[in-house]
Amino acid sequence: MTTYGAGGPREGEEPWERLLRSVFGADADEAIAELRARGMDVDALNAAAGLADDPAMMDQVLSQVRSLLSSTTGGPVNPDVSHDIARQVAVAEGDPSVDAVERRTTVDALRVAELWLDAVTDVAPSGGSRFVWSRSEWVERTIPAWNTLVEPVARSVVAALTGVLREHLPEDLDMSLSEMGLPPGMAAMLGGGPGGFDPSELVERLGAAMFGMQVGQAAGAMSREVFGLTDLGVPLVDEPVAALLPTNVAAFAEGLDAPLEEVRLYLALREAAHSRLFTHVTWLRGHLHGLVDAYARGITIDTEALEDAVSHIDPTDPAAMQAALSGGIFGIPTTEEQKSTLARLETSLALVEGWVDEVATTAALPHLPHAMSLREMIRRRRAAGGPAEQTFATLIGLELRPRRSREAAALWALIGRETGSARRDDVWAHPDLMPTALDLDDPAGYLARREQVAEEQADVDRAIEELLSGTASGDEDTPADDDGETSED
C-alpha cells in the first residue's frame, strides 16, 4: 500500500483516518487518538463516510477537501480554490486556442493602435509586451488581482462570521454532533471541548475556501466577457502590457454594423491608451487601489442579520456556510466616510475611462468609419455592466464602474480643444491637478476654476518671495560701525 509523507495517509489506515489526516495534517493524530479513546465505531464511521469500498471516490474527495480547507497564504481568500474554479468556469462554455492568424492580426492591431495614438497624445507608449490571450490565459494572469481586491472584504466578513459562530456553538458540542449521527469525540476535530482545537481556525479555512469559490466564479465568468485588461478600470497586472482576447472580441463584433477588423482596431486603441496611462502616470495605480482598500476597510458587518442567518444554518455544514456567504445576507452598510471614498473612487474611474474614451476615439476618427458608433456601444456596455461584473460587485459590496464617464470624456475633450492635447495630458502630472466631481458637473467652468487656483497660488508665491526679498534687503541696509561691526541700539 502506498505510504505518504508527513501529514498524509499511512499504511494500514482506515478511510476515515485518511480523511482526517488529509484535512488536519499533524493535528490529525490528536483527533484520531481522541476518537479511538472514546470507543469510536470504525465500521459505522466508514459506512457513514460511504467511501470504504471506493478508493477512487476517496481520492477525489480527499483532493477536494484539501483544496477547500488549505490555503497557501493563510489569507482570507484561498488562492488555490479561486484559481481552479476560475479556470473551470472560463472553459465551461468553450475556450478556443488562439491560432496563428488571430495572434498575428491582433498583435498587428495593437501595433497600429500605438502609431495612431502617437498623433493625438503626448503620453508615450508603455513599452510593454503585446499579448493575445485565451480566456484561461486571461484568468492565469489576472486572478491574483481579483484575490487582492476581495481580501479586505473577506477578512471583515470571516472575522464577523467566526465571532458569531463561536457564540452559537452548543456548550456540549459532542452531544449535538452525536444527535446528528456523528461519532462521539468529533468535537475535538471541530474545535470544541477542553484541549480541543480552536473552532475559529476551521471557520477561517471554510471562509477562505468559500470566498475563493466566489472569486473564482466571478473571475471565470468575466473571462468570457472582457476584451483585455481595461474593462474594469483598475489595473489587473503589475507590468505594463496590452492584451486582447480574440474570442471575446469576435463575439462582441457579431451583430454590429462595423466589420471585425474595425472592432478589433478600436478595442486595441482603448487597450493601448489604458496601458500608456497607467505606465506613465505612476501615482494612478496606487491611488485607485488605495481607494478600494479604504472603502473595504470601512465595511462594518450587520451582525444582527448575520446572527439571524447563522441561527438557521449548521456551522459544521460547509454547503450551508457557502450559501450564507453568497446570499447577500450580511447587509453591509455604507458609512459617511465610505460614501466620500466611493465618490472619489467613482470620479477617478470616470476620469480614467473618459480619457481613454476621448483619446482612443480621437485617434480612430481619421481611420475607422464606425468609430462613433463603436464608442457609443462601448459606453452603453460599460454603463450597464455584465452579469459577471454585477456578481463581483455583490461580492465586494462595491461597483467598479465609471458611472460618469460621459461627463469625464466631455471634460477631457473641452480641455483638449481649449488648451491642446499636451496641456490636457499634463493634468495627470499630479493628483492635486485632477478634476473633481464638481468639474464633472460643470465641465465648462473647469478651466476658469483652474485659472483662479493658479492665480491664487501665484499670489502666495509672490508674497513669499517679497517677504524673503525684504528680509534680505533689510540685512544689507543695516548700518555698520567704522570697525565693521553692526551698530546696536
pLDDT digits (tens, 9 = 90+) for 70-121: 554 568 888 988 999 999 999 998 898 999 999 999 999 999 999 999 999 9
| pLDDT at residue 198, as a whole number | 57
CA 422, CA 120: separation in Å to the nearest integer?
9
In 219-282, beta strands by DSSP E: 242-244
What is the mean pLDDT of the segment spanning 380-408?
A: 73
How many CA atoms are closer than 13 Å to the CA of 388, on its beta-carbon side?
Answer: 19
Confidence label for 44 from pLDDT (cuts 50, 70 and 90)? very low
Q: Sign of dihedral through CA atoms 141, 147, 150, 152?
A: negative
Mean pLDDT of the chain: 76
pLDDT higher at 146 or 364 = 364
CA-closest candidate to residue 263, choices 401, 105, 99, 104? 105
State pTM to two decimals: 0.74
Whether 132 shows a pLDDT value over 90: the answer reads: yes
Question: Over the range 257-269, which residues count as b (16 or more CB within 10 Å of their CB) and which as e?
Answer: ebeeebbbbbbbb
Confidence label for 355 from pLDDT (cuts 50, 70 and 90)? very high
Least confident of 40-54, 266-280, 464-478: 40-54
In 43-192, beta strands by DSSP E: 130-132
Whether 273 shows a pLDDT value over 60: the answer reads: yes
| pLDDT at residue 189, as a whole number | 47
CA 26, CA 22: separation in Å to the nearest integer?
9
| pLDDT at residue 48, as a whole number | 43
Tens-place pLDDT, residues 297-342: 776 666 666 666 656 555 445 555 555 555 554 445 567 887 888 8
What is the mean pLDDT of the segment spanning 422-434?
A: 93
Whether 376 shows a pLDDT value over 70: the answer reads: yes
